[in-house]
Amino acid sequence: MKDIKLAAVCGIYCGNCNYLGKDCNGCSYQEDKPFWTKLYNVEVCPLYDCCNNQKQLEHCGLCPEFPCSTFLSLKDPSMSEDEANRALSERQNELIRRREIGTARWLRE
């Protein structure tokens, strides 16, 4: 089974990330400071902070405010607008699916 700690609050599975093992150990292992926070002068990941630290939720899809303005505004600045919108839509769909079937089953898929 895939590592549940690599199931990020934002809908990404860190096990598929090119930075895993190089610049990052995975969002949950990094707690609120994934590798990119240093690159963009952000103290903590706003989604992790809100979801995990403040609301004690497993992922954003469990939040009654999902998708909130924080979720919708957090985009990878290295992507084009179209790429970022596609990635945002994919993350949103993954979180909806994860909410429906649970993280363990989502990881098996």
pTM above 0.85, yes or no: yes
Measure the CA–CA gap between 97 and 86, rounded to whole angstroms. 16
How does pLDDT run across 8-43, given as a tens digit for each residue? 999 999 999 888 999 889 988 888 888 888 888 888
Task: Give the per-residue pLDDT at 12.
Answer: 93
DSSP state, 63? Answer: S
Task: Give the per-residue pLDDT at 85.
Answer: 95
Measure the CA–CA gap between 48 and 36, rounded to whole angstroms. 13
For residue 73, give both structure tokens: 């505004």
| DSSP state letters, 1-50 | ---GGGB-TTS-BGGG-TTBTTTBS-TTTSTT--THHHHTT-SS-HHHII
